[in-house]
């Protein structure tokens, strides 16, 4: 009897272990959505920041340490986007599985080709990222690469569900590829349109969909707008007849609106990540929202 | 270094010319620099309206008097009116191997160099355990483990400065901490320290009597934080510390006043010094960029009890075996707000000596008054790597001559170059 109950106990424990979902923690909401798409019901995904928050500055608060402590897989955007807070969380979590270089640590930037590689790195140029621009998920092609990377990583950590991850990743990639064609054709009529953005975070978006970036509202990355720079930007926008000002909900609307007033350009608040605005319920919905916003502003 | 960037750029080019459809892993550029290095320059100008300088006044606060520091040179490190270069801080840190992490901070000032911290920390222990060794800031309370450049005000809080010195409790020793497997943040720690603090746990004087062997101090602390949603964070802590403490005084036969060390021991005390207290901090991390809308409210309370036995008393041998018990306390509370992008304003209120009592060996008791200080500051943080600050203090200090008022002004300028540090809570 004793042996039997021990056997049952072990069986139960084994069953419990294999049924426990893979716990994934991501730094940003876009990675969280992609991880959910790939992992489905085999993973439990937690995100450390919110969509309407500046991802460069997140307080490394103790409740986030607890999330990282319990993670099997830690996914970050990389390229120094989270350098001010993610390393502290990882170290303070004391979770050997997700330390830098461990199997449970994934830098999604390792699956993409960075743009804006600086030829010289000096902080006199503001918040320069030596590895390249970290806002690469604004290009959905990069999301396809990251999905593949997530699938590979999840399968490595949880081989028993590898088939599920492969199926989910394949299905999502098909869906995303179809959406990419849809966005491309919807944006085709406005290809080549120029814009200014608040922060240097639409470089990949512009490269994919054929928009021309004229400048940023920030005089240098991470430096808030100045009157002098805004004046220069106004004359540049007038000269180049820039019709679009692209900003994000966490930035102040005052400078974009005064630029719009001075130049006649339209302000579009972009959802760079899910939950940046209520309509952006997931990664695809966020890009849907942005495409609609741009087309609407251009009267198309 | 140059080679690293060349490599990074080469990888960039290779990647650029490969077709986008090809899915490949790219070697990571991050973490190539080993160890991470940075340098911090922290200078400030200060002025006050006291005759002898505020540092002198603070040494005379009743109940908190310094009985001469173990190392008289320490005095020279105090703040001077006019320009001060707090120090140039050189920081190094890196993973040693899969098991340990090492870091060191050398503080260089015009009088030479000293080791601010030199730490070895485990990274691979199971069950949420970490062991730290070397010379480090004790992790009790909230502000103790923060370095001077991380403070929200230029100067140390009064209660820390009077009980532990400007640098707080920073000592050689071992620390064991445990992150409990609770659904909320719960961290326990215990430390064993050598006991070389400039105000507590040390030996004051140069007499021939035997000193206690180290380690002379033990601390225990805990920190707890509920899972608040969104941008809110709250953390509370409790702590207690106890260590052996010896004092030596030279008194003039006629006046009973201290004469300073003359090689002749008149009074020798031996016993314990201990303190305990609590800390609480709330932070709101605004989603807006450049620190706008960020808010913090924090406070700490510390109470110390010093219980010393009279081991030798040349003037009153009858008192030998009796005890002197000193009980002093203090708190600070401070709040700050990011009122514009990159601009913060903060206010601090401090009080020490709410309890301020000495039970003397002859059975009599003395009660001293309390000292108070109010501070206000505005700082401008152009980027994460630089900060400018203007601060005013206005204090009323209880000394032997009664309540003495003092005002201070600080203008501070700090920059950091090198590796991009991360900010702990």
Q: Mind giving me the DSSP string for A58-98?
A: ----HHHHHHHHT-SEEEE--TTTTTTTHHHHHHHHT-GGG
Short-list A116, A83, A81, A138, CA closest to A291 = A138
Q: Answer yes or no: do A63 and B184 touch at CB < 8 A.
A: yes
- What CATH number is given for A181-297 in this structure? 3.40.50.1980
Structure tokens given for B354: 């709410």
- The full set of domains in chain B, from first to last, is 37-418 (2.40.160.10)
- What pTM does this model have? 0.87
Identify which of A63, A132, A222 has the shortest CB distance to residue B185.
Answer: A63
Tell me where in chain A the CATH 3.40.50.1980 domain(s) lie. Answer: 12-179, 181-297
Unique residue bearing structure tokens 């000096």: A122
With contact defined as beta carbons under 8 Å apart, do B243 and B217 qualify? Answer: yes
SS3 call for A229: helix
Rounded distance, CA A114 to CA B29, Å? 11
Q: How far is B117 from chain A (nearest CA, A)?
A: 18
Q: Please answer yes or no on whether B289 and A59 come within 8 Å at the CB atom.
A: no
The structure tokens listed for A77 are 């955007």
What DSSP line would sit under A91-107, residue for residue?
HHHT-GGGSTTSTTEEE
C-alpha span between B385 and B81 (Å, rounded): 26
Cβ-proximal residues to B207 (8 Å cutoff; 6+ apart), any chain: B248, B265, B268
Q: How high is the mean pLDDT of chain B?
A: 85
Chain A positions touching B5 (Cβ under 8 A) are: 121, 130
CB contact under 8 A, B8 and A61: no
Pairing verdict, β B323-340 and B343-359:
antiparallel
Structural Rg of chain B based on CA atoms: 24
- Secondary structure (3-state) at A206: helix
Q: Which residues of A touch B185 (CB under 8 A)?
A: 62-63, 65-66
B46 phi/psi in degrees, rounded to 5: -140, 155
**pLDDT tens, per residue, chain A with 300 residues:** 455 555 544 444 444 445 689 999 999 999 999 999 999 999 999 999 999 998 988 999 999 999 999 999 999 999 999 999 999 999 999 999 999 889 999 999 999 999 988 877 777 777 778 889 999 999 999 999 999 999 999 999 999 999 999 999 999 999 999 999 999 999 999 999 999 999 999 999 999 999 999 999 999 988 999 999 999 999 999 999 999 999 999 999 999 999 999 999 999 999 999 999 999 999 999 999 999 999 999 997
Among A66, A79, A219, the strongest candidate for a mutation testing the B interface, having the largest count of B CBs within 10 A, is A66
Say whether the peptide bond before residue B126 is cis (omega within 30 degrees of 0).
no
Contacts of B254 (CB under 8 A, 6+ apart): none
Q: Which residue of A has its CA nearest to B381?
A: A223
- Cα–Cα dist B116/B44, whole Å: 19
Tokens at B388, concatenated: 């400018």
Which of B21, B98, B185, B344 best tests the A interface by mutation, with the highest count of A CBs <10 A?
B185
- Give A-chain residues touching B423 at CB under 8 angstroms: 59-60, 84-85, 88
Question: Does 3.40.50.720 match the CATH number of domain A12-179?
Answer: no
**Residue A61 to residue A53: CA distance in whole angstroms:** 15
Q: Is A52 within 8 Å of B287 (Cβ atoms)?
A: yes
Q: How far apart are CA B77 and CA B74, in angstroms?
A: 5
**Cα angle vertex B274, ends B268, B276, to 5°?**
160
Supply the pLDDT for residue A18.
53
What is the bridge-based pairing of β-strands B203-204 and B232-249?
parallel
List the single residue in B18, B285, B289 with the smallest CB-CB distance to A251. B289
d(CA B9, CA B16): 10
Gap between the terminal Cα atoms of chain A: 76
Chain B nearest-CA distance from A184, in A, is 16
Ramachandran quadrant class, B148 (left: phi over 0; alpha: psi -120 to 50; beta: rest):
alpha
What is the spatial distance between Cα A68 and Cα A91, in angstroms, rounded to a whole number?
Answer: 9
**Contact predicate A127/A135, CB 8 Å:** no
Selection from B232, B223, B162, B230 nearest residue B198 by Cα: B162
Whether ipTM tops 0.85, in short, is yes
The pLDDT of residue B18 is above 70:
no
The answer to whether B148 and B137 have CB atoms below 8 angstroms apart is no
Report whether B162 contacts B352 (CB < 8 A): yes
Inform me whether the pLDDT recorded for B32 exceeds 70: no
* pLDDT at residue number B35: 80
What local confidence, expressed as pLDDT, does residue B15 receive?
38
DSSP A134: S
Both tokens of B242, joined, read 């106890």
Question: Beta strand B129-137 with B170-179: parallel, antiparallel or unpaired?
Answer: antiparallel
Interval B282-296: pLDDT, tens: 999 998 889 999 999
The helix/strand/coil state of B381 is strand
Contact (CB<8Å) B288/A252: yes
pLDDT at B304: 96
Cα–Cα distances in angstroms (integers) from residue A244 to residues A192, A193, A287, B309, in the given order: 12, 8, 17, 79
How many angstroms separate the CA of residue B237 from the nearest CA in chain A?
Answer: 12
pLDDT of residue B10: 40
Please answer whether residues B405 and B374 qualify as being in contact, where contact means their C-beta atoms are separated by less than 8 angstroms: no
Q: B325-366 pLDDT, tens per residue? A: 999 999 999 999 999 999 999 999 999 999 999 999 999 999
- Six token digits for residue A233: 């930007």
- Burial of B72-105, coded b for 16+ CB within 10 Å and e otherwise, reads eeeeebebeeeebebbbbbbbbebeeeebbbbbb
Rounded to the nearest angstrom, the minimum Cα separation between B231 and chain A is: 8
Beta pairing, strands A194-197 & B267-284: unpaired
Prior bond to B350 cis, omega within 30?
no
Q: What is the pLDDT of residue B259?
A: 59
To the nearest whole angstrom, how far is the Cα of B422 from the nearest Cα of chain A? 4
Q: Which helix (H) or strand (E) holds B39?
A: strand B36-48
Please indicate whether, in this complex, the C-beta atoms of A86 and B5 are within 8 angstroms of each other: no
């Amino acid at each position: 009897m004793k042996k039997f109950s021990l056997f049952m106990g072990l069986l139960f424990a084994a069953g419990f272990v294999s049924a426990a979902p893979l716990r994934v923690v991501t730094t940003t909401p876009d990675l969280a959505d992609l991880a959910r798409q790939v992992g489905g019901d085999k993973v439990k995904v937690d995100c450390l920041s919110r969509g309407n928050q500046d991802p460069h500055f997140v307080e490394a608060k103790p409740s986030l340490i607890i999330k990282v402590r319990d993670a099997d897989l830690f996914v970050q955007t990389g390229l120094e986007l989270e350098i001010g807070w993610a390393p502290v969380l990882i170290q303070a979590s004391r979770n050997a599985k997700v330390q830098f270089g461990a199997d449970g640590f994934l830098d999604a930037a390792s699956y993409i080709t960075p743009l804006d590689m600086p030829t010289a790195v000096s902080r006199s140029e503001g918040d320069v990222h030596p590895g390249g621009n970290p806002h690469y998920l604004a290009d959905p092609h990069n999301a396809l690469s990251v999905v593949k990377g997530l699938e590979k990583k999840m399968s490595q950590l949880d081989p028993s569900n590898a088939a599920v991850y492969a199926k989910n990743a394949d299905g999502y990639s098909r869906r995303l590829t179809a959406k990419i064609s849809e966005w491309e054709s919807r944006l085709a009529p406005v290809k080549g349109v120029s814009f200014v953005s608040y922060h240097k975070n639409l470089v990949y978006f512009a490269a994919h969909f054929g928009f021309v970036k004229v400048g940023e509202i920030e005089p240098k990355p991470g430096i808030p707008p100045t009157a002098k720079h805004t004046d220069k930007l106004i004359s540049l926008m007038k000269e180049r007849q820039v019709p679009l000002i692209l900003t994000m909900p966490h930035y102040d609307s005052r400078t974009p609106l005064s630029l719009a007033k001075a130049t006649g350009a339209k302000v579009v608040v972009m959802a760079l990540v899910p939950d940046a605005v209520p309509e952006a319920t997931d990664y695809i919905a966020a890009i849907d929202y942005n495409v609609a916003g741009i087309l609407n502003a251009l009267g198309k | 270094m140059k080679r690293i960037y060349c490599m990074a750029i080469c990888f960039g080019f290779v990647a650029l010319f490969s077709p986008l459809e090809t899915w490949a892993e790219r070697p990571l550029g991050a973490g190539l620099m080993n160890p991470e290095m940075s340098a911090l320059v922290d200078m400030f100008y200060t002025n006050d309206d006291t005759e002898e300088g505020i540092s002198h006044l603070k040494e005379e606060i009743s109940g908190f008097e310094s009985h001469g520091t173990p190392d008289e040179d320490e005095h020279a490190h105090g703040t001077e009116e006019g320009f001060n270069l707090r120090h140039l801080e050189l920081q190094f840190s890196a993973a040693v191997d899969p098991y340990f992490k090492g870091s060191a901070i050398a503080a260089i000032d015009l009088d030479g160099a000293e080791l601010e911290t030199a730490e070895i920390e485990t990274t691979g222990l199971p069950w949420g355990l970490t062991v730290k060794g070397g010379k480090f800031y004790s992790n009790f309370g909230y502000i103790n483990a923060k370095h001077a450049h991380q403070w929200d005000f230029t100067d140390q809080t009064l209660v820390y400065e009077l009980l532990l010195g400007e640098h707080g409790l920073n000592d050689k020793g071992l620390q064991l901490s445990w992150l409990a497997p609770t659904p909320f943040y719960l961290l326990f720690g215990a430390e064993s320290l050598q006991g070389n603090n400039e105000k507590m746990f040390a030996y004051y004087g140069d007499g021939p009597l035997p000193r206690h062997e180290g380690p002379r101090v033990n601390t225990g602390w805990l920190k707890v934080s509920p899972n608040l949603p969104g941008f809110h964070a709250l953390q509370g802590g409790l702590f207690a510390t106890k260590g052996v403490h010896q004092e030596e005084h030279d008194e003039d036969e006629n006046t009973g006043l201290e004469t300073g060390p003359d090689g002749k021991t008149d009074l020798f005390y031996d016993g314990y010094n201990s303190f305990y207290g609590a800390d609480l901090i709330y932070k709101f991390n605004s989603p807006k960029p450049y620190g706008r809308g960020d808010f913090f409210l924090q406070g700490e309370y510390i109470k110390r009890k010093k219980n010393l036995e009279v081991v030798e008393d040349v003037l009153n041998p009858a008192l030998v075996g009796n005890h002197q018990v000193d009980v002093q306390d203090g708190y600070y509370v401070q709040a700050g707000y990011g009122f514009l992008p990159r601009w913060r304003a903060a206010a601090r209120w401090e009080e020490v000596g709410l309890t301020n009592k000495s039970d003397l060996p002859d059975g009599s008791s003395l009660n001293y008054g309390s000292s108070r200080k109010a501070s206000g500051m505005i700082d401008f943080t152009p980027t994460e790597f630089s900060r400018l600050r203007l601060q005013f203090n206005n204090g009323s200090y209880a000394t032997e001559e009664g309540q003495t008022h003092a005002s201070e002004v600080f203008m501070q300028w700090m920059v950091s170059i090198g590796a991009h540090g991360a900010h702990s809570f």
